[in-house]
C-alpha cells in the first residue's frame, strides 16, 4: 500500500478526535531548524477565534487490539486497515510543511501489538522530527493509556501538547462499552504529564533551564450521547479532571453512529446543541468561577437546550439580581448574562471616571437584549422590572440557529458570554 492510500485511510480515521486545538506553547525558529510555535496558536497562523488552522491530523495506524463498541477502528470492525512506518510519517510531515500545507502535526493511533509498542513509535516520530530535523513546529501526541510511564515522559520532551482521552464520562460507561479499558490507566498517564509539567515549572522558577515538557499542557476528550449519562455527571467528571490534573481543555464529542454498530448504542446522533451547551458550561467553570453543581443543579441534571447555561442559572437565582454595574465587583459582574470577561474589565475601568448608563454598556458591546433584565445603571432600572415576570423566560429563549462548535469560545473572548 502506498503512502497516499495510507494517508486517505488514516486521515479519515482521525476525524473523530476533536481535541486537536493548540495553544500555550512558544518555540522560536532557528537558522538551523524549521518552523516555530507562537503562544496563541501554531507557527504563525491562527484563526480569529484562536483555533489552529492547519494540522496534519492523522493516525499512526487504525489497527487496534481493543473492541470498544463505539469506535469505528475497533478490532471487530470491517474497515480497511493501514499503518504508517515511523519514517513515512516523518517524511510526510516535513514534506507537507515545506509546501506550506500544514503548520504542525497531530498524531494519534489505534493500539497495535501493545500500548508500549504503539507509544514507542509515536514518540519516535516526534523525536526524529525534533532531534534529527530540528523541527520547531507544533506537535500534539496522544498518550496511549496503559503504556509505560517512561514513554509518556519521553513524549513530553518532544510534544507541545499531550492528551490522554478519558473517552466516556463514568467508569460504569467505560466498563459497559469498553471493558478492556479503565479510567485508572488514563488517569495514570494524566498524572505523569501533570507531574512532568510541574517539575519543569519548579526548575524554571529556580532560574534553571530544564528541557521543556509539554509546554502547551494536556487535554482530554469525552464522548457525549453514547450512553444515557446526564450532563451533570459529565461536568462533574470534567471538574474533577481540571482540579486533579490541571488540564487545559476537556473536549466534548457528540457520539456519531458507526456502521455495524453495537445494538446498545443509540441509532441517532445527539443534537449538536447539547455539545454546544457543554462547551459553554465548561467555559463558565474554567473562566467565570462557576462550579459544576451550580450550572446543573441536582434537580435538573441536564442543561436546557433553549437557554445558555449562564442565563439559565440567572433565572434560577433571580434573588441575586439586579446587579448594580457601578458598584458590583468583578465576580458579580461575571454572573450577569451577556457580560463576559472582556466586558467586565471594560466596566471596571470605565466606572472609575464616570457613572455608567445603559448607553455606555451598549458602546462596550454588552448584549443588552439579555443583560438589561439583570443590571441597574445610573439612569435607572431599565427592563429590570420584568425580572420577576414569568414571561421573562420566554423572551430569553434562543431560537433555532446554525451552531458553531467554537461559538462559546468566541463569545467569551469577545466578552459576551
Q: Supply the pLDDT for residue 41.
A: 32
Render pLDDT for 3-55 as a digit per residue (tens, 0 to 9).
999 999 998 888 888 766 545 455 566 656 665 554 433 333 344 445 445 78
3-270 carries CATH number 2.60.40:
no
Average pLDDT over residues 171-200: 96
Q: Does 393 score more than 50 pLDDT?
A: yes
Assess contact for 84 and 6: CB atoms under 8 A: yes
DSSP state of 358: H
Higher local confidence (pLDDT), 28 or 223: 223
Q: Supply the pLDDT for residue 36.
A: 56
- Could you tell me whether strands 249-254 and 218-224 are parallel, antiparallel, or unpaired per DSSP bridges? parallel
Q: Supply the pLDDT for residue 21.
A: 56
* C-alpha to C-alpha distance for 277 and 305, rounded to whole angstroms: 7
Question: 23 in the Ramachandran plot: left (φ > 0), alpha (ψ -120 to 50) or beta?
Answer: left
Apex 390 CA angle, 287 and 411, nearest 5:
25
Q: Supply the pLDDT for residue 52.
A: 46
Going 197 to 203 to 204 to 206, the CA torsion angle's sign is positive
pLDDT tier at 384, thresholds 50, 70, 90:
low
| This model's pTM is above 0.85 | yes
Instruction: Name the residue ranges covered by the structural domains of the chain.
Output: 3-270, 309-413
Mean pLDDT, rounded, of the chain = 87
* Burial class (CB within 10 angstroms; exposed 0-12, middle 13-18, buried 19+) of 381: middle
Average pLDDT over residues 90-98: 93
Render pLDDT for 269-288 as a digit per residue (tens, 0 to 9).
999 999 999 999 999 999 99
Amino acid at each position: 500500500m502506498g503512502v497516499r492510500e495510507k494517508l486517505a485511510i488514516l486521515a479519515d480515521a482521525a476525524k473523530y478526535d476533536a481535541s486537536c486545538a493548540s495553544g500555550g506553547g512558544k518555540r522560536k525558529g532557528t537558522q538551523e531548524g524549521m518552523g516555530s510555535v507562537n503562544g496563541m496558536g501554531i507557527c504563525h497562523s491562527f484563526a480569529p477565534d484562536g483555533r489552529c488552522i492547519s494540522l496534519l491530523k492523522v493516525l499512526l495506524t487504525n489497527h487496534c487490539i481493543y473492541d470498544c463498541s463505539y469506535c469505528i477502528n475497533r478490532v471487530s470492525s470491517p474497515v480497511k486497515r493501514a499503518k504508517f512506518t515511523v519514517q513515512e510519517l516523518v517524511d510526510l510531515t516535513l514534506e507537507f510543511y515545506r509546501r506550506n500545507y500544514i503548520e504542525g502535526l497531530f498524531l494519534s493511533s489505534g493500539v497495535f501489538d501493545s500500548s508500549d509498542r504503539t507509544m514507542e513509535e509515536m514518540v519516535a516520530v516526534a523525536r526524529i522530527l525534533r532531534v534529527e530535523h530540528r523541527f520547531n513546529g507544533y506537535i500534539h501526541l496522544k498518550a496511549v493509556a496503559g503504556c509505560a510511564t517512561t514513554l509518556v515522559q519521553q513524549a513530553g520532551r518532544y510534544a507541545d501538547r499531550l492528551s490522554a482521552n478519558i473517552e466516556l464520562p463514568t467508569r460504569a460507561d467505560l466498563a459497559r462499552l469498553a471493558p478492556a479499558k479503565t479510567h485508572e490507566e488514563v488517569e495514570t498517564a494524566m498524572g505523569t504529564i501533570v507531574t512532568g509539567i510541574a517539575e519543569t515549572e519548579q526548575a524554571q522558577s529556580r532560574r534553571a533551564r530544564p528541557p521543556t515538557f509539554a509546554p502547551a499542557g494536556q487535554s482530554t476528550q469525552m464522548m457525549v450521547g453514547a450512553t444515557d449519562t446526564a450532563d451533570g455527571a459529565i461536568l462533574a467528571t470534567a471538574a474533577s479532571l481540571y482540579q486533579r490534573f490541571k488540564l487545559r481543555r476537556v473536549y466534548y464529542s457528540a457520539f456519531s453512529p458507526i456502521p455495524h454498530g453495537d445494538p446498545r448504542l443509540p441509532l441517532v446522533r445527539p443534537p449538536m446543541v447539547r455539545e454546544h451547551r457543554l462547551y459553554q458550561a465548561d467555559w463558565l467553570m474554567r473562566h467565570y468561577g462557576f462550579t459544576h453543581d451550580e450550572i446543573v443543579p441536582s434537580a435538573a441534571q441536564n442543561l436546557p437546550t433553549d437557554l445558555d447555561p449562564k442565563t439559565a442559572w440567572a433565572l434560577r437565582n433571580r434573588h441575586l439580581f439586579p446587579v448594580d454595574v457601578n458598584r458590583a465587583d468583578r465576580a458579580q459582574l461575571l454572573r450577569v448574562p451577556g457580560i463576559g470577561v472582556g466586558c467586565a474589565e471594560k466596566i471596571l475601568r470605565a466606572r472609575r471616571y464616570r457613572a455608567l448608563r445603559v448607553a455606555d454598556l451598549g458602546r462596550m458591546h454588552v448584549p443588552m437584549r439579555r443583560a438589561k433584565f439583570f443590571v441597574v445603571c445610573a439612569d435607572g432600572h431599565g427592563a429590570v422590572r420584568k425580572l420577576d415576570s414569568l414571561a421573562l423566560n420566554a423572551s430569553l429563549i434562543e431560537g433555532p440557529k446554525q451552531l458553531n462548535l467554537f461559538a462559546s469560545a468566541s463569545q467569551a473572548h469577545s466578552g459576551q458570554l
